[in-house]
Amino acid sequence: MGQDPYFPGNGDLRYRVHRYELTLDYRPAPNRLSGTARINAIAGRGQLTEFQLNLADFRVGRVRVDGRTAHYTHRGGKLRVRPAKPLRAGAAFTVEVQWSGNPRPVSSPWGGLGWEELEDGALVASQPVGAPSWYPCNDRPADKASYQISVTTPSAYAVVAGGRLLTRTTKASTTTWVYEQAAPTSSYLVGLSIGKYQTVLLGDPGPGGVPQHGHIPAHLLPRFSRDFARQPAMMELFQELFGPYPFDEYAVVVTEEELDVPVEAQGLSLFGSNHVDGARGSERLVAHELAHQWFGNSVSIADWRQIWLNEGFAKYAEWLWSERSGGRGAQQLAAAAHRSLSALPEDLRLADPGRKSMFDDRLYQRGGLTLHAVRCALGDDAFFRMLRGWAGLHRGGAVTTAAFTAHVARFADEPLDELFDAWVYGTALPPLPSSGTGAAD
């Protein structure tokens, strides 16, 4: 698989990362970040005389490979490293990088991405290429690694990261929070939030259940308690429909500030204060972000051309939640999406939407409709077996559209090539799919 055609400057195919250990110190008032990364990696098929990490415009203090000082250059968001001695093909090696500076978002066609300084704290919103705004990484979605993240910050602030909180240690006026995310994680899905939060447990996970915590500014707690009250029921439903929740726990953070859209990260979702209204006005987004834990996070995409496999699935999960919780059925929601798409230009190809259209609402809607078409073709029993199989088979991995169509074919009584040609590879809007069984009504 070659370099990502949408972001050819991000990521390096000559090696892969096994684990990141990040030790960070952040002072919110001056927005000052200093960090050390220890990166365990494996060289690819050829001898490695140099390699690159993506890292924004920080001051780099030191770079070592296997404990020896390495030569490096750092410009244009690329940290090019030349080890003192070439690394043989397949060799395991360790890179250590020290960096410091004032983190800020990296520029992109969608505005600033990555580390965002808030009025009182910070958050990370990296999709798709914002991770280098705060740590050195091999920034491509298919290069997934485990993470340990240690953050030291003034004790008035709470630190929330995706994964399990291992320790919280207070010394004088600072507190160090250490999180472990053992599951393979894409660089853009490493979530972090620093703020003044109250922590609540969402429902009782019980034996074998999934711990779910909310981290919220205290004054928003009454609204949050209503808006997120049904998240434990969503978790139960999605485990029934998609298979076991793929991580140790799930956290949601609500920031003091408004966000255009919620931010998905592995084991963690971030919402703006505008997403809590006390009337469950954003409940479909609560379902959407939770569904991403299966589709997008656990099952990741091989490159950004495949993004409909994240967003179409999360969109369809919204419809499934609505259908199963007393709202409109998937067929009604599909009909509404079809009506809205029929009034818009029909020039978007799901299988390769182009960088400009990665986050176009038409991709979300058409992706949801494609899954509905597959459901109508397979029938409910085979469709949900197919979905559970997809999430289970590719847990912790990275996938393509071709892998999905081949997977679906195993559950179909007859070839579905025409369905995929029309919905995924074509641009014209096919007719609204419907089920003769009434199962999707």
pLDDT in tens, 32-90: 999 999 999 999 999 999 999 999 999 999 999 999 999 999 999 999 999 999 999 99
Whether residue 240 is annotated as binding a ligand: the answer is no
Mark 334-359 as b/e (b = at least 16 C-beta within 10 Å): bbebbeebeeeeeebbbbbbebebbb
The CATH number assigned to the domain with range 1-193 reads 2.60.40.1730
Active site residues: 289, 364
Whether residue 292 is annotated as binding a ligand: the answer is yes
Q: Report the alpha-carbon distance of residue 331 to residue 192 in Å, rounded.
A: 37
Determine the pLDDT at residue 1: 58
Q: Report the alpha-carbon distance of residue 91 to residue 223 in Å, rounded.
A: 53
**Sequence-separated (6 or more) residues with CB below 8 Å from residue 96:** 36, 37, 38, 39, 62, 63, 64, 65, 67
Per 3-state DSSP, the chain is made up of helix, strand and coil in percentages (nearest 5) of 30, 30, 40
Whether residue 394 is annotated as binding a ligand: the answer is no
Which residues are paired to 185 by β-bridges?
A: 145
pLDDT band at 218 (very low <50, low <70, confident <90, very high): very high
Encoding tokens for residue 7? 């972001």
Residue of 248, 258, 250 whose CA lies nearest to 215: 250
Write down the pTM of the prediction.
0.96
Res. 331: pLDDT tops 90? yes
423-437: average pLDDT: 89
pLDDT tens sequence across 124-167 = 999 999 999 999 999 999 999 999 999 999 999 999 999 999 99
User: What is residue 301's three-state secondary structure?
Assistant: strand
Residue of 319, 294, 415 whose CA lies nearest to 369: 319
| CATH classification for the domain delimited by 300-425, as one of 1.10.390.10, 3.90.650.10, 1.20.120.450, 3.40.50.300 | 1.10.390.10
Encoding tokens for residue 102? 């004032």
> Do β-strands 398-399 and 59-65 pair in parallel, antiparallel, or remain unpaired?
unpaired
**Per-domain residue ranges of the chain:** 1-193, 197-293, 300-425
Instruction: Indicate the average pLDDT of the chain.
Output: 96
| Topology of domain 197-293, CATH | Zincin-like (3.30.2010)
> Do β-strands 164-171 and 174-185 pair in parallel, antiparallel, or remain unpaired?
antiparallel
| DSSP structure string for 144-190 | -EEEEEEEEEETTSEEEESSEEEEEEEETTEEEEEEEEEEEE-GGG-
